[in-house]
Structure 1
Amino acid sequence: MSETTTRIHTQSGQHHPVRLYLVVWGLLFVLSAFSYLVDYLQIQGYPRWSLILLFMMLKAGLIVAIFMHMAWERLALVYAILLPPLLVLVFVALMVSESNYTIFTRHAFFGAAQ
């Protein structure tokens, strides 16, 4: 075997530059600071929960992509891990959209107290 082939076979695993991890940790810190800033500025109502959920999803995406090495995995594995939670979110959205119909039906058939 040549020296290049031997060197390739002795290396194991993926190694990424430390700079990448430091940048991701910095981004996670900044996103967390923005999330705390939402509370500090006392933003209320839908904007509050929208911002908190946005920052949470961005942080989760960074963690999954970089620290769980999903950015470098095969597409089939990414779909196997990320697609089921995405489908659960779609089903939750469908249930939320049907909730007004359900409450309307309950009031129509069971009657509101008069």
Structure 2
Amino acid sequence: MAQGEAQQHPIGIYLWVWFLLFVLSVFSYMVDYLGFEGYLKWFLITLFMLMKAGFIIAVFMHMVWERLAIICAILVPPGVLVVLMLLMAIEGNYTLLIRLEYFFQ
């Protein structure tokens, strides 16, 4: 490809993703409308949010058409941060339970 040429993607891909984003948003609102409670509600809302973010990153930020090295350079660091946050949450929960057991014996 010459330096001045730009790659064109079919508009149908973008319209399809817009439709999927709309459907996922409707599902997210339905979770609240139908009255789901507790962990199920937050799991479903988080799942739909992550799916929408994935579609936006993949198509509108053109990550689908990038090389694997660029994809890994952008997506691996946030993934590592999520794993570290989960480890800190587990440790924090353990510390809280130990303190509650010690102070309220």
TM-score scaled by structure 1?
Answer: 0.84
Q: Per-residue displacement from partner, 1:25-82 (whole Å, max 9, x unpaired)?
A: 0000000000000011010000000000000000000000000000110111111111
**One-letter identity of the residue aligned with 1:30:** V
Extract unaligned runs of 5+ from structure 2: none
Extract unaligned runs of 5+ from structure 1: 1-7
Residue 16 of structure 1 pairs with residue 9 of structure 2: yes
2:88 & 2:62 partners in 1: Cα distance? 33
2:32 & 2:15 partners in 1: Cα distance? 26
Residue 47 of structure 1 pairs with residue 37 of structure 2: no
**One-letter identity of the residue aligned with 1:51:** L
**One-letter identity of the residue aligned with 2:74:** I
Q: Determine the structure 1 residue equivalent to 2:97.
A: 104
Once the two structures are TM-superposed, the CA of residue 99 in structure 1 deviates from its matched residue by 2.4
Residue 58 of structure 1 pairs with residue 51 of structure 2: yes
Count of residue pairs the alignment pairs up: 105
Moved over 4 A (4+): none
1:104 & 1:21 partners in 2: Cα distance? 49
Q: Determine the structure 1 residue equivalent to 2:75.
A: 82
Secondary structure of the corresponding residue to residue 2 of structure 2: helix
**One-letter identity of the residue aligned with 1:18:** I
Identity value in percent: 53
